[in-house]
Structure 1
């Protein structure tokens, strides 16, 4: 598994957002006319960006046979990772989550960031009346002195990252419950990935919430697809499919469609960047994450360009 990740890094040309990799195909030829049903974690299935990437990868690998993608039961992130680790294909086959060294150890990662590394760039979803509390914030000390608490999922890797950087974090096991906790003022900032927050507002009846306009949290945290440890065929198929999409340009089209809008509407290039450390990555994923942050300005410029009308 580590060798597979290192092979990818050997071909990483600066890790710009387009991820224009030239990777050798890793998947063995699989001849099958049987249709396989893949169960995608419901949070990813309900997110059209992630679902479309999984469908793109599977469609690019027709030699593996036909496929059907279905929605999983509504499992918490902690539960879905346990079921994947236990090879429980009755409940889930594929999940997209942020990576950690531990997750790469007990699951089977496809080590290509699904959003080009944007998950580690986060903005605050807030109540409008709390906006003045964020005015003029420049650093972590400002956040702590103003008693700004961050809402996150109990099993999300962001939680220990934020805590390790001295921030106060309030958690719950269910993503949906966190919106109510924000409304009930259990915390002031629901930190969401820049590729997630617009979807959150549009699909969670969140017209009473707003996106704080000036702060951008940035920390290395690549987001991978994961499959069960015993499911080498799915791992090879998904990786090969994404590699083919990168090579033929359809991955760049995917990025433009699903993430270009966020850079434009969130004005990321104008925000105050608060950089945080992530001590929980594997050596290989830390390499990816560090290059993500080092190339932040270039990445934002690139996304701004691909977000422009054709």
Structure 2
């Protein structure tokens, strides 16, 4: 019979052999990352570029971090998704994409590689049919403010604070889809939308008789980042590595161009008067991540 000591030694040798084996080593990246819960709006966004970029960033880091599975979160508005990335909500949400702000960067880990190269900071008004005359004589920020025209925005979006801090008259709603209905009811004059969003939204809500305003282009620095749950710096490192590799290969810029250049060309941006707006709620370091977009003609 084997002694107890011999049995323990045999067990330890077996355990060491298993831990040292190539099979075990291949499975060693953190198992917490095999299932990644992403914000439903990231996974199912009408613009597929966000889930495409996330998938590519995870694929290109598979060698270092292992396989993964993306799980969609429950439906939630943006403000709630921001909250769910805080420590006290661990296990609810791992990653989401948002526009950055000082407050948002305090409550989650911002992966500071802009997903759209700042494209969302270029904005155009969606207006009611027949309202173009209200905008045609405006040629600068102060003239827009003095006109007393109102802008519709979501209460949880950083845009609301950006616009208010610059003196604009802003009307808010708690839900994205309601803003289209409120524009139709003339609760405000302009629903300010990103140039990468507005043409698709115009087509989607065509029955409401909207128009795309054709003389003005608003701009403020506005990077979109992936935000990762506070408790998961390793996932943030993985996403940072993946995005940096995609950026260095030029693939990130090509994706933005592929998904958005054709629709943006329809807006004739080079014929518009630019209204420049300060973004006072964006950290300076995040501001510096934005670079000129080579194919954007202004």
User: TM-score surpassing 0.5?
Assistant: yes
Aligned to 2:29: 32
Deviations 1:97-131 (A, max 9, x none): 11111211221000011100112111111111222
For residues 159 and 267 of structure 1, what CA distance do their matches in structure 2 show?
A: 26
Corresponding residue SS for 1:266: coil
Aligned to 2:51: 51
For residues 171 and 206 of structure 2, what CA distance do their matches in structure 1 show?
A: 22
Do the aligned partners of residues 252 and 145 (structure 1) sit closer, same or farther apart at CA in structure 2, a change above 3 Å counting?
A: closer
Structure 2: any 5+ residue segments left out of the alignment? 1-25
TM-score (norm 1): 0.79
CA contact (8 A) 1:109 1:226 kept: yes
RMSD, aligned CA? 2.3
For residues 221 and 27 of structure 2, what CA distance do their matches in structure 1 show?
A: 35
Do the aligned partners of residues 33 and 94 (structure 1) sit closer, same or farther apart at CA in structure 2, a change above 3 Å counting?
A: closer
For residues 133 and 239 of structure 1, what CA distance do their matches in structure 2 show?
A: 45
Deviations 1:27-83 (A, max 9, x none): xx9943957222222222222121111111111111222222233222111111111
CA contact (8 A) 1:57 1:241 kept: yes
CA contact (8 A) 1:87 1:228 kept: no
Aligned to 1:278: 279
For residues 254 and 100 of structure 1, what CA distance do their matches in structure 2 show?
A: 24
- Equivalences for 1:106-185 in 2 at 5 Å? 106-185=107-186
CA contact (8 A) 2:85 2:107 kept: no
Deviations 1:113-155 (A, max 9, x none): 1100112111111111222211121122322333211011111
CA contact (8 A) 1:87 1:229 kept: no
CA contact (8 A) 1:201 1:207 kept: no
For residues 279 and 145 of structure 1, what CA distance do their matches in structure 2 show?
A: 21
For residues 59 and 99 of structure 2, what CA distance do their matches in structure 1 show?
A: 24
2:99 aligned with 1:98, yes or no? Answer: yes
Deviation of 1:176 (Å): 1.4
Deviation of 1:159 (Å): 0.7
Q: Please identify, of 53-62 and 261-270, the stretch whose mean Cα deviation from structure 2 is larger.
A: 261-270
Structure 1: any 5+ residue segments left out of the alignment? 1-28, 305-310
Deviation of 1:250 (Å): 2.0
CA contact (8 A) 2:38 2:93 kept: yes
For residues 52 and 226 of structure 2, what CA distance do their matches in structure 1 show?
A: 13
CA contact (8 A) 1:150 1:167 kept: yes
2:237 aligned with 1:239, yes or no? Answer: no
Q: Please identify, of 225-234 and 133-142, the stretch whose mean Cα deviation from structure 2 is larger.
A: 133-142
TM-score (norm 2): 0.82
For residues 30 and 103 of structure 2, what CA distance do their matches in structure 1 show?
A: 36
2:59 aligned with 1:62, yes or no? Answer: no
Larger radius of gyration: 2
Deviation of 1:166 (Å): 0.9
- Equivalences for 1:61-80 in 2 at 5 Å? 61-63=61-63, 64-80=65-81
Corresponding residue SS for 1:220: coil
Aligned to 2:228: 227
2:290 aligned with 1:303, yes or no? Answer: no
